[in-house]
Amino acid sequence: MKPFYITVLFTFISLQAYSQPDFAFIQNDWISSVNKGESFQQLLFPKGYLLYFNGNPTFSSQENPVDDFGIDGELADYQQIKQFEHDQFRFLTLADVSLDQKVCSLLTGWRKTETKWSKEIDILLAQTSDSNVSDSAKQQLNNERKEWIEFANRHDPAEHIRTSYTKDAVYFSNGMRSDGHSGITERYAYMKNPNYQVDLEVAYLRQTSDTQIIEVGRYFTGKVHRGSGGIYVILWQKQAEDWQIGMDFNF
């Protein structure tokens, strides 16, 4: 019977090691720091952190830390809604949180660094409309997403970004921020590889205003989908005739 007990113990330890992290605890610590006007650098991904607050991006890194992120008002009532796993070291959470008693959507990208979880990105958006996305808007985004995939696989990132992104769009990944068409085109230079292929699968949509929709999904590189894919976040912004990307994040 001894091997059985060893197996059970090993399984228990493994389950403990891969148990779901309690992000709400860290978020409430962050909220407390924001409300007290205290620095929360200790909670941030050292390589680089971005707060995208109602369209205003603020970047902070270990070399150039920022203490004032421009969140004026009282944060409260953190309620996590969804959680997406990229791998055991990277997660994305979506929650409701109030700012001066007004509901906001909060998306947070998490990275495990050594023994603790760090916030890589926070996207904090005022919730000024019903969160449900209409069927017509879903169809429009389906068309825009299909076009994004087609342009990405044409191996011309300059045309791709010019077509799909707003002029002041922000791209953030791996602790690095890029702005505007030229900056994002430079980051997407790897798409020039003739063998590069990418596909997107939407997992969740949430409307935050009449002109803004959050999309969370999974990206797959290569001609064949393997595994569960990587996590991406797109913030769609309504333009005169179509929807374009104002914020782009992926692990």
pTM of the entire predicted model: 0.91
Q: How confident is the model at residue 241, as a pLDDT?
A: 86
Check residue 18 and give its pLDDT: 52
Residues sharing a CB contact under 8 Å with residue 50, sequence separation 6 or more, in sequence order: 57, 58, 59, 60, 120, 121, 122, 170, 172, 177, 249
What integer pLDDT is reported at residue 16 of this predicted model? 44
- Domain 22-126 and domain 135-250 have a common topology: yes
**Locate tokens 């005169």: which residue?**
240
Residues 26-48 have pLDDT tens digits of 999 999 999 999 999 999 999 99
Q: Which stretches in the chain have pLDDT values below 70?
A: 1-19
pLDDT of residue 19: 65
Give the residue extent of every domain in the chain.
22-126, 135-250
CATH fold group of domain 135-250: Nuclear Transport Factor 2; Chain: A, (3.10.450)
If 0-12 CB within 10 Å is exposed, 13-18 middle and 19+ buried, where does residue 11 land? exposed
Fold held by 22-126: Nuclear Transport Factor 2; Chain: A, (3.10.450)
User: In the sheet where 75-87 sits, what is the strand order?
Assistant: 56-60, 49-53, 116-126, 102-113, 90-99, 75-87
**Cα–Cα distance, 210 to 225 (Å, whole number):** 34
